[in-house]
Structure 1
């Protein structure tokens, strides 16, 4: 019986990808580097730190990774605060409330920074539902490395076998699989060109999940 659901955030709870895309490409322009669509897509599920470590190495950038992170974060926050058409993914709020009301523990495990996680949780009043919020910035390696999900599972009230992960990215699903946790792949039009084939179950809308269905997964 499932006791804990571990949610990814970007592309699962909220679609901040357009805001990230805007901030990154504004920053790339400032840095005078050409990042291909293919390279950008390969970053899905990576933390900002890992992305800039890769960019610094690939483009031989002189700037410190920490300075690059701060600048991108500033551009993101600026865009986030002015973007009015930012909504929770359709159906996810109902699922979160349903699981919470039925005593399922909810944990967030996102590659996003703590600052971004707090902004999203404050904007959409999600704090009451989640017992823990785990940020990828606390781990040296990003998804597909399983560390973030292994840590999230260690915070569960139940053994790992009673946890599931909900993810929308190739890297995130691989991280869950490598951590040995049952994974629900969310096939979202927001998450283009992602391989969900390793997920244990795939859903295309959150109305395909509720407490009764989630409880009996695994």
Structure 2
């Protein structure tokens, strides 16, 4: 295994509370009755795809781009004001171990490029990752495999020599569709996500090391 492809939200950092607050604030502004159960199906999808779906379902008059910008405003405010926000336990140690063993790292997140940059700048992640792939560049979100196929392509690594680390059912399904070995991260922040399609499921990043990852069989 030469390249590890990380999802970001729920894997590197738990920004889900900020996303949840921003989305539900906006749902209230739009006057649409999105339930927690429906919201759970959005995890792993790009915000653009979420609003395309909601515009059609609820016959919203606002343009997708307008709703997208409002969501980003709400998210950025919540993100910047949350002083307690930090990387998930053990993930920085794993990232550092992988780089010390010359494993290439790529982030492939449904988040916008601006949000990825915001997280990378705040937590100094830039030097560790060779590439960043954003879901905003794809017409379809996870479980469509395009984002992971692109991550493998920019890393110049065959999919059989990559692994994906994901915390959402949509993300695991996308990795599987791409033909990439997938480790499901079943953290407390991913409660209710069905990770049964993952090749392996972990509860904590201490279960992984560079040596263990490099020894994984190809897909």
Tell me, yes or no, whether TM beats 0.5: yes
Q: Aligned partners of 2:179, 2:159: CA distance in 1, in Å?
A: 8
User: After TM superposition, which residue ranges in structure 1, 4 or more long, deviate above 2 angstroms?
Assistant: none
1:40 aligned to 2:27?
Answer: no
Q: Aligned partners of 1:143, 1:158: CA distance in 2, in Å?
A: 20
Q: Aligned partners of 2:103, 2:156: CA distance in 1, in Å?
A: 10
User: Residue 175 of structure 1: CA displacement?
Assistant: 0.1
SS of 1:166 mapped into structure 2: strand
Kept in 1, the 8 Å contact 2:97–2:210? The answer is yes
User: Residue 82 of structure 1: CA displacement?
Assistant: 0.6
Aligned to 2:90: 91
The within-5 A match list for 1:100-139 is 100-139=99-138
Q: Aligned partners of 1:29, 1:77: CA distance in 2, in Å?
A: 18
Q: Aligned partners of 1:163, 1:155: CA distance in 2, in Å?
A: 12
User: Residue 32 of structure 1: CA displacement?
Assistant: 1.2
Q: Aligned partners of 1:180, 1:161: CA distance in 2, in Å?
A: 7
1:164 aligned to 2:142?
Answer: no
SS of 1:106 mapped into structure 2: strand
User: Residue 158 of structure 1: CA displacement?
Assistant: 2.8
Alpha-carbon displacement from aligned partner over 1:3-54 (angstroms, at most 9, x marks no partner): 0000000000000000000001111111111111111001010000000001
Aligned to 2:150: 151
Q: Aligned partners of 2:40, 2:198: CA distance in 1, in Å?
A: 19
Alpha-carbon displacement from aligned partner over 1:57-88 (angstroms, at most 9, x marks no partner): 11110000000000010011111111111110
Aligned residues: 217
1:197 aligned to 2:213?
Answer: no
SS of 1:190 mapped into structure 2: helix
Aligned to 1:22: 21
